[in-house]
Amino acid sequence: MKRLTLSLILFVATSFSLLVAQSNRPLLAVGDIDANDALPGNGYSTLTEMAMRKMERIGTYEILDQYDMNFLAKRDGINLTGCFSKICLTEMGTKLHVDKILTGSIRTVGDNITVNFRILDVKNGTVERTHTNDFLKINAEYRNMIEITLDELMGNPVDEEIKKKLTLKNDFDNTVNNPYQLRLRTDGPRMGFTMFTGETAAILGSNRNNGGFEAQPMMFQFGYQFEKQYLNEGNFQALFEFIPMMTGLDQGLFIPSITVMNGLRNNKNGWEFAFGPTFSVVTKSQGYYTADTHKWTLLNDSLQTPENADVITRLDSRGDAAIQAGFIFAFGKTFKSGKLNIPVNAFLIPNNKGLRFGVSFGFNARDRYAYSPVR
Protein backbone atom coordinates (compact mmCIF):
# COMPACT_ATOMS: atom_id res chain seq x y z
CA MET A 1 0.00 0.00 0.00
CA LYS A 2 2.85 2.36 0.87
CA ARG A 3 4.54 1.56 -2.46
CA LEU A 4 1.31 2.33 -4.36
CA THR A 5 0.90 5.61 -2.49
CA LEU A 6 4.50 6.61 -3.20
CA SER A 7 4.10 5.82 -6.92
CA LEU A 8 0.93 7.90 -7.06
CA ILE A 9 2.67 10.85 -5.38
CA LEU A 10 5.60 10.63 -7.84
CA PHE A 11 3.20 10.51 -10.81
CA VAL A 12 1.26 13.55 -9.62
CA ALA A 13 4.47 15.46 -8.90
CA THR A 14 5.93 14.64 -12.31
CA SER A 15 2.74 15.63 -14.13
CA PHE A 16 2.56 18.89 -12.19
CA SER A 17 6.21 19.65 -13.03
CA LEU A 18 5.55 19.04 -16.73
CA LEU A 19 2.52 21.33 -16.67
CA VAL A 20 4.50 24.05 -14.93
CA ALA A 21 7.37 23.64 -17.37
CA GLN A 22 4.99 23.88 -20.33
CA SER A 23 3.25 26.93 -18.93
CA ASN A 24 6.64 28.59 -18.38
CA ARG A 25 7.67 28.19 -22.00
CA PRO A 26 8.05 31.53 -23.82
CA LEU A 27 5.22 32.30 -26.24
CA LEU A 28 6.42 32.57 -29.84
CA ALA A 29 4.64 33.82 -32.94
CA VAL A 30 5.75 32.75 -36.40
CA GLY A 31 5.80 35.78 -38.66
CA ASP A 32 5.99 36.19 -42.40
CA ILE A 33 8.79 34.62 -44.47
CA ASP A 34 10.31 36.78 -47.20
CA ALA A 35 10.33 34.50 -50.25
CA ASN A 36 8.97 36.61 -53.10
CA ASP A 37 11.95 36.05 -55.40
CA ALA A 38 11.96 32.31 -54.74
CA LEU A 39 8.22 31.64 -54.63
CA PRO A 40 6.29 34.60 -56.04
CA GLY A 41 2.78 34.75 -54.62
CA ASN A 42 3.34 31.74 -52.35
CA GLY A 43 4.22 33.63 -49.20
CA TYR A 44 2.68 33.72 -45.77
CA SER A 45 0.20 30.88 -45.65
CA THR A 46 2.31 28.05 -47.07
CA LEU A 47 5.85 28.68 -45.83
CA THR A 48 4.81 30.14 -42.48
CA GLU A 49 2.65 27.10 -41.77
CA MET A 50 5.62 24.82 -42.54
CA ALA A 51 7.77 26.78 -40.07
CA MET A 52 4.98 26.89 -37.47
CA ARG A 53 4.40 23.13 -37.54
CA LYS A 54 8.14 22.47 -37.26
CA MET A 55 8.52 24.80 -34.26
CA GLU A 56 5.57 23.05 -32.58
CA ARG A 57 7.34 19.70 -32.99
CA ILE A 58 10.61 21.09 -31.63
CA GLY A 59 8.74 22.12 -28.47
CA THR A 60 11.10 24.78 -27.09
CA TYR A 61 8.44 27.49 -27.27
CA GLU A 62 4.70 27.62 -26.88
CA ILE A 63 3.50 28.56 -30.37
CA LEU A 64 0.78 31.15 -30.89
CA ASP A 65 -1.85 29.33 -32.91
CA GLN A 66 -2.44 30.53 -36.47
CA TYR A 67 -6.16 30.96 -35.81
CA ASP A 68 -5.40 33.11 -32.75
CA MET A 69 -2.96 35.17 -34.81
CA ASN A 70 -5.55 35.74 -37.51
CA PHE A 71 -8.18 36.69 -34.91
CA LEU A 72 -5.87 39.21 -33.19
CA ALA A 73 -4.72 40.60 -36.53
CA LYS A 74 -8.32 41.15 -37.66
CA ARG A 75 -9.43 42.59 -34.31
CA ASP A 76 -6.47 44.92 -33.77
CA GLY A 77 -5.67 45.74 -37.39
CA ILE A 78 -2.28 43.96 -37.44
CA ASN A 79 -0.70 43.33 -40.84
CA LEU A 80 0.94 39.89 -40.62
CA THR A 81 2.65 40.05 -44.02
CA GLY A 82 5.65 42.06 -45.17
CA CYS A 83 6.98 42.67 -41.65
CA PHE A 84 10.71 41.87 -41.52
CA SER A 85 12.59 44.73 -39.82
CA LYS A 86 13.34 44.63 -36.09
CA ILE A 87 11.19 47.69 -35.47
CA CYS A 88 8.21 46.24 -37.30
CA LEU A 89 8.64 42.81 -35.68
CA THR A 90 8.91 44.34 -32.19
CA GLU A 91 5.69 46.32 -32.70
CA MET A 92 3.87 43.29 -34.11
CA GLY A 93 5.07 41.06 -31.26
CA THR A 94 3.92 43.64 -28.70
CA LYS A 95 0.44 43.80 -30.23
CA LEU A 96 0.27 39.99 -30.32
CA HIS A 97 1.39 39.80 -26.65
CA VAL A 98 4.15 37.25 -27.39
CA ASP A 99 7.65 36.91 -25.93
CA LYS A 100 9.42 35.93 -29.16
CA ILE A 101 8.77 36.18 -32.87
CA LEU A 102 10.25 34.03 -35.64
CA THR A 103 10.80 35.30 -39.16
CA GLY A 104 13.03 34.42 -42.06
CA SER A 105 13.79 34.61 -45.74
CA ILE A 106 14.23 32.26 -48.68
CA ARG A 107 16.32 33.69 -51.51
CA THR A 108 17.46 32.34 -54.85
CA VAL A 109 21.13 33.20 -55.32
CA GLY A 110 22.51 31.79 -58.58
CA ASP A 111 22.20 28.01 -58.44
CA ASN A 112 21.52 28.04 -54.68
CA ILE A 113 18.61 28.67 -52.37
CA THR A 114 19.61 30.55 -49.21
CA VAL A 115 17.35 29.95 -46.19
CA ASN A 116 17.63 32.16 -43.10
CA PHE A 117 15.66 32.15 -39.86
CA ARG A 118 15.97 34.42 -36.83
CA ILE A 119 14.21 34.73 -33.50
CA LEU A 120 13.65 38.21 -32.08
CA ASP A 121 13.13 38.93 -28.39
CA VAL A 122 10.10 41.25 -28.34
CA LYS A 123 10.87 42.84 -24.97
CA ASN A 124 14.45 43.81 -25.88
CA GLY A 125 13.91 44.25 -29.63
CA THR A 126 17.06 42.20 -30.33
CA VAL A 127 17.77 39.12 -32.43
CA GLU A 128 18.75 36.32 -30.05
CA ARG A 129 19.13 33.48 -32.56
CA THR A 130 19.89 33.39 -36.28
CA HIS A 131 20.98 30.68 -38.71
CA THR A 132 21.54 30.48 -42.48
CA ASN A 133 21.95 27.54 -44.87
CA ASP A 134 22.77 27.40 -48.57
CA PHE A 135 20.96 24.62 -50.44
CA LEU A 136 20.87 23.42 -54.03
CA LYS A 137 18.18 24.94 -56.20
CA ILE A 138 15.62 22.15 -55.76
CA ASN A 139 12.30 23.93 -55.40
CA ALA A 140 10.36 20.81 -54.43
CA GLU A 141 12.38 20.47 -51.21
CA TYR A 142 11.44 23.71 -49.40
CA ARG A 143 9.95 21.76 -46.52
CA ASN A 144 13.17 19.87 -45.82
CA MET A 145 15.21 23.07 -46.20
CA ILE A 146 13.01 24.88 -43.68
CA GLU A 147 13.05 22.01 -41.19
CA ILE A 148 16.84 21.52 -41.38
CA THR A 149 17.50 25.23 -40.87
CA LEU A 150 15.08 25.47 -37.93
CA ASP A 151 16.58 22.40 -36.26
CA GLU A 152 20.05 23.89 -36.56
CA LEU A 153 18.73 27.27 -35.37
CA MET A 154 17.55 25.56 -32.17
CA GLY A 155 20.70 23.45 -31.79
CA ASN A 156 19.00 20.15 -32.64
CA PRO A 157 20.61 17.31 -34.64
CA VAL A 158 19.55 16.92 -38.29
CA ASP A 159 19.49 14.04 -40.75
CA GLU A 160 22.95 14.48 -42.25
CA GLU A 161 22.17 12.29 -45.26
CA ILE A 162 19.21 14.46 -46.29
CA LYS A 163 21.24 17.63 -45.73
CA LYS A 164 24.08 16.16 -47.80
CA LYS A 165 21.69 15.47 -50.68
CA LEU A 166 20.41 19.05 -50.52
CA THR A 167 23.79 20.79 -50.22
CA LEU A 168 26.37 18.73 -52.18
CA LYS A 169 25.97 19.48 -55.86
CA ASN A 170 27.50 16.24 -57.13
CA ASP A 171 26.28 13.68 -54.62
CA PHE A 172 24.67 10.39 -55.69
CA ASP A 173 21.15 10.72 -57.06
CA ASN A 174 17.97 9.92 -55.18
CA THR A 175 14.49 11.41 -54.99
CA VAL A 176 15.63 14.07 -52.50
CA ASN A 177 18.19 15.82 -54.71
CA ASN A 178 16.39 14.86 -57.93
CA PRO A 179 12.66 15.07 -57.16
CA TYR A 180 11.50 15.72 -60.72
CA GLN A 181 12.44 12.34 -62.18
CA LEU A 182 12.02 8.79 -60.94
CA ARG A 183 14.29 7.33 -63.64
CA LEU A 184 17.63 8.64 -64.92
CA ARG A 185 19.75 7.74 -67.93
CA THR A 186 23.48 7.58 -67.22
CA ASP A 187 25.08 6.16 -70.36
CA GLY A 188 28.75 6.08 -71.20
CA PRO A 189 31.67 4.08 -72.61
CA ARG A 190 33.01 0.93 -70.94
CA MET A 191 36.44 -0.67 -71.23
CA GLY A 192 38.61 -3.16 -69.40
CA PHE A 193 40.01 -6.65 -69.69
CA THR A 194 38.78 -10.21 -69.27
CA MET A 195 40.70 -13.37 -68.37
CA PHE A 196 39.78 -16.87 -69.57
CA THR A 197 40.81 -19.97 -67.62
CA GLY A 198 40.57 -23.76 -67.90
CA GLU A 199 39.75 -25.52 -71.16
CA THR A 200 38.66 -22.28 -72.82
CA ALA A 201 42.08 -20.69 -72.18
CA ALA A 202 43.82 -23.79 -73.56
CA ILE A 203 41.77 -23.68 -76.78
CA LEU A 204 42.39 -19.95 -77.22
CA GLY A 205 46.14 -20.49 -76.94
CA SER A 206 46.41 -23.51 -79.24
CA ASN A 207 47.40 -23.58 -82.91
CA ARG A 208 44.81 -22.60 -85.51
CA ASN A 209 45.38 -25.88 -87.32
CA ASN A 210 43.95 -27.58 -84.23
CA GLY A 211 41.00 -25.21 -83.95
CA GLY A 212 42.75 -22.77 -81.63
CA PHE A 213 43.06 -19.02 -81.93
CA GLU A 214 46.75 -18.50 -81.11
CA ALA A 215 45.68 -15.89 -78.57
CA GLN A 216 46.52 -15.03 -74.98
CA PRO A 217 43.85 -15.79 -72.35
CA MET A 218 43.75 -12.12 -71.29
CA MET A 219 41.93 -9.84 -73.75
CA PHE A 220 40.96 -6.19 -73.91
CA GLN A 221 37.30 -5.18 -74.03
CA PHE A 222 35.62 -2.05 -75.30
CA GLY A 223 31.93 -1.16 -75.44
CA TYR A 224 29.16 1.12 -74.27
CA GLN A 225 26.90 0.93 -71.23
CA PHE A 226 23.26 2.01 -71.36
CA GLU A 227 22.14 2.44 -67.76
CA LYS A 228 18.82 3.42 -66.25
CA GLN A 229 18.60 4.30 -62.56
CA TYR A 230 15.36 3.94 -60.62
CA LEU A 231 15.57 6.52 -57.83
CA ASN A 232 14.41 5.99 -54.28
CA GLU A 233 14.27 7.97 -51.05
CA GLY A 234 16.12 5.18 -49.21
CA ASN A 235 19.75 4.11 -49.26
CA PHE A 236 19.63 2.22 -52.58
CA GLN A 237 18.69 2.88 -56.19
CA ALA A 238 17.75 0.10 -58.60
CA LEU A 239 19.73 -0.33 -61.83
CA PHE A 240 19.06 -1.70 -65.29
CA GLU A 241 22.08 -2.04 -67.58
CA PHE A 242 22.45 -3.00 -71.24
CA ILE A 243 26.07 -3.39 -72.35
CA PRO A 244 27.22 -4.29 -75.88
CA MET A 245 30.96 -5.10 -75.91
CA MET A 246 33.75 -6.13 -78.28
CA THR A 247 36.44 -8.47 -76.97
CA GLY A 248 39.81 -9.51 -78.41
CA LEU A 249 40.50 -6.64 -80.83
CA ASP A 250 44.00 -6.35 -79.34
CA GLN A 251 44.74 -9.87 -80.59
CA GLY A 252 43.09 -9.72 -83.99
CA LEU A 253 39.86 -11.30 -82.80
CA PHE A 254 36.32 -9.94 -82.90
CA ILE A 255 34.07 -11.42 -80.21
CA PRO A 256 30.86 -9.36 -79.87
CA SER A 257 28.68 -9.74 -76.79
CA ILE A 258 25.56 -8.32 -75.18
CA THR A 259 25.01 -8.26 -71.41
CA VAL A 260 21.79 -7.41 -69.58
CA MET A 261 21.96 -6.83 -65.82
CA ASN A 262 19.77 -5.77 -62.92
CA GLY A 263 21.28 -4.50 -59.69
CA LEU A 264 21.41 -2.06 -56.80
CA ARG A 265 23.66 0.90 -55.97
CA ASN A 266 24.12 2.45 -52.53
CA ASN A 267 23.18 6.15 -52.53
CA LYS A 268 25.60 6.93 -49.71
CA ASN A 269 28.91 5.49 -50.91
CA GLY A 270 28.44 4.24 -54.48
CA TRP A 271 28.97 0.51 -53.84
CA GLU A 272 26.97 -1.58 -56.28
CA PHE A 273 26.29 -5.10 -57.49
CA ALA A 274 24.42 -6.52 -60.47
CA PHE A 275 23.82 -9.80 -62.26
CA GLY A 276 22.20 -11.09 -65.41
CA PRO A 277 22.62 -13.04 -68.66
CA THR A 278 25.40 -12.43 -71.16
CA PHE A 279 25.48 -13.61 -74.79
CA SER A 280 28.59 -13.85 -76.99
CA VAL A 281 29.00 -14.72 -80.67
CA VAL A 282 31.77 -17.34 -81.04
CA THR A 283 32.72 -20.01 -83.57
CA LYS A 284 32.07 -23.66 -82.69
CA SER A 285 32.50 -27.03 -84.38
CA GLN A 286 31.42 -30.61 -83.76
CA GLY A 287 34.11 -33.19 -83.19
CA TYR A 288 35.70 -35.59 -80.74
CA TYR A 289 38.96 -36.30 -78.97
CA THR A 290 40.79 -39.42 -80.11
CA ALA A 291 41.16 -42.09 -77.45
CA ASP A 292 44.89 -42.70 -77.97
CA THR A 293 46.34 -39.19 -78.53
CA HIS A 294 43.47 -37.04 -77.21
CA LYS A 295 43.68 -35.05 -80.43
CA TRP A 296 40.74 -32.84 -81.35
CA THR A 297 39.25 -34.06 -84.61
CA LEU A 298 36.42 -32.47 -86.55
CA LEU A 299 33.59 -34.68 -87.74
CA ASN A 300 34.01 -33.28 -91.26
CA ASP A 301 37.71 -34.26 -91.26
CA SER A 302 37.13 -37.79 -90.05
CA LEU A 303 36.71 -40.51 -92.65
CA GLN A 304 35.08 -42.74 -90.09
CA THR A 305 33.96 -41.75 -86.62
CA PRO A 306 34.84 -44.36 -83.97
CA GLU A 307 31.80 -46.03 -82.46
CA ASN A 308 32.81 -45.10 -78.93
CA ALA A 309 33.70 -41.49 -79.82
CA ASP A 310 32.16 -38.84 -77.59
CA VAL A 311 30.99 -36.23 -80.12
CA ILE A 312 30.78 -32.75 -78.64
CA THR A 313 30.44 -29.15 -79.80
CA ARG A 314 33.24 -26.87 -78.63
CA LEU A 315 34.98 -23.61 -79.35
CA ASP A 316 36.85 -23.82 -82.68
CA SER A 317 38.32 -21.14 -84.93
CA ARG A 318 37.33 -23.19 -88.00
CA GLY A 319 33.69 -23.53 -86.99
CA ASP A 320 30.49 -21.64 -87.62
CA ALA A 321 29.16 -18.68 -85.68
CA ALA A 322 27.08 -19.63 -82.66
CA ILE A 323 25.56 -17.95 -79.61
CA GLN A 324 27.18 -18.79 -76.28
CA ALA A 325 25.16 -17.88 -73.21
CA GLY A 326 26.42 -17.30 -69.70
CA PHE A 327 25.51 -15.62 -66.44
CA ILE A 328 27.52 -12.74 -65.07
CA PHE A 329 27.96 -11.45 -61.51
CA ALA A 330 29.44 -7.97 -61.10
CA PHE A 331 30.27 -5.77 -58.15
CA GLY A 332 32.17 -2.54 -57.68
CA LYS A 333 31.96 1.12 -56.80
CA THR A 334 31.10 4.35 -58.61
CA PHE A 335 33.49 7.20 -57.84
CA LYS A 336 32.50 10.82 -58.35
CA SER A 337 34.66 13.69 -59.57
CA GLY A 338 32.48 16.76 -59.92
CA LYS A 339 29.73 15.88 -62.39
CA LEU A 340 31.72 12.91 -63.68
CA ASN A 341 30.75 9.39 -62.56
CA ILE A 342 33.50 6.76 -62.81
CA PRO A 343 32.18 3.20 -62.25
CA VAL A 344 34.84 0.54 -61.54
CA ASN A 345 33.65 -3.07 -61.46
CA ALA A 346 34.94 -6.62 -61.21
CA PHE A 347 32.92 -9.39 -62.82
CA LEU A 348 32.74 -13.18 -62.80
CA ILE A 349 31.24 -15.59 -65.36
CA PRO A 350 31.22 -19.22 -64.16
CA ASN A 351 31.40 -21.95 -66.81
CA ASN A 352 32.09 -25.68 -66.79
CA LYS A 353 34.80 -25.10 -69.43
CA GLY A 354 36.64 -22.58 -67.32
CA LEU A 355 35.99 -19.59 -65.13
CA ARG A 356 36.07 -16.17 -66.76
CA PHE A 357 36.65 -12.97 -64.81
CA GLY A 358 37.75 -9.41 -65.42
CA VAL A 359 37.71 -5.75 -64.50
CA SER A 360 36.01 -2.89 -66.32
CA PHE A 361 35.61 0.84 -65.83
CA GLY A 362 33.86 3.68 -67.61
CA PHE A 363 32.56 7.20 -67.23
CA ASN A 364 29.37 9.17 -67.66
CA ALA A 365 28.08 12.58 -66.68
CA ARG A 366 24.72 14.19 -66.23
CA ASP A 367 23.58 17.71 -65.32
CA ARG A 368 20.69 16.85 -63.02
CA TYR A 369 20.11 20.34 -61.64
CA ALA A 370 18.45 21.93 -64.63
CA TYR A 371 15.56 24.09 -63.47
CA SER A 372 12.20 22.42 -63.08
CA PRO A 373 8.99 24.06 -61.87
CA VAL A 374 7.65 23.47 -58.39
CA ARG A 375 5.44 20.40 -58.20
**Which residue among 139, 167, 195 closes a domain?**
167
202 and 329 co-located in one domain: yes
Instruction: Categorize the per-residue pLDDT at 164 as very low, low, confident or very high, splitting at 50, 70 and 90.
Output: confident
Please report which helix (H) or strand (E) contains residue 283, including its range: strand 271-289
156 and 204 co-located in one domain: no
Is 178 a member of any domain?
no
Q: What is the pLDDT of residue 28?
A: 95
Residue 47, Cβ neighbours under 10 Å: how many?
22
Is 292 a member of any domain?
yes
263 and 324 co-located in one domain: yes
259 and 350 co-located in one domain: yes
225 and 160 co-located in one domain: no
Please give the Cα distance from 209 to 317 (Å, whole number).
9
Q: Domain holding 296: CATH number?
A: 2.40.160.20
Please give the Cα distance from 285 to 317 (Å, whole number).
8
Question: 336 Cβ partners below 8 Å, 6+ apart?
Answer: 170, 171, 172, 270, 342
Q: What is the pLDDT of residues 4-40, one digit of tens each?
A: 555 555 554 444 344 334 458 999 999 999 886 666 5
Alpha-helical segments (H) within 59-176: 66-76, 86-96, 142-153, 160-167
199 and 332 co-located in one domain: yes
143 and 187 co-located in one domain: no
When pLDDT is averaged across residues 193-212 and rounded to a whole number, the result is 93
- The residue ranking higher by pLDDT, 77 or 305, is 77
Is 8 a member of any domain?
no
62 and 202 co-located in one domain: no
31 and 94 co-located in one domain: yes
- The residue ranking higher by pLDDT, 62 or 300, is 62
Is 57 a member of any domain?
yes
Is 231 a member of any domain?
yes
116 and 207 co-located in one domain: no
Q: What is the pLDDT of residue 295?
A: 87
Is 371 a member of any domain?
no
Is 375 a member of any domain?
no
| Total domains present in the chain | 2
Q: What is the pLDDT of residue 235?
A: 79
This prediction's pTM: 0.66
Task: Please give the residue range of the domain that contains residue 38.
Answer: 23-167
Is 5 a member of any domain?
no
**Which residue among 167, 200, 215 closes a domain?**
167
Instruction: Categorize the per-residue pLDDT at 233 as very low, low, confident or very high, splitting at 50, 70 and 90.
Output: low
Please give the Cα distance from 211 to 301 (Å, whole number).
12
**Which residue among 133, 167, 201 closes a domain?**
167
138 and 211 co-located in one domain: no
Ramachandran angles phi, psi of 230, nearest 5°: -105, 110
54 and 163 co-located in one domain: yes
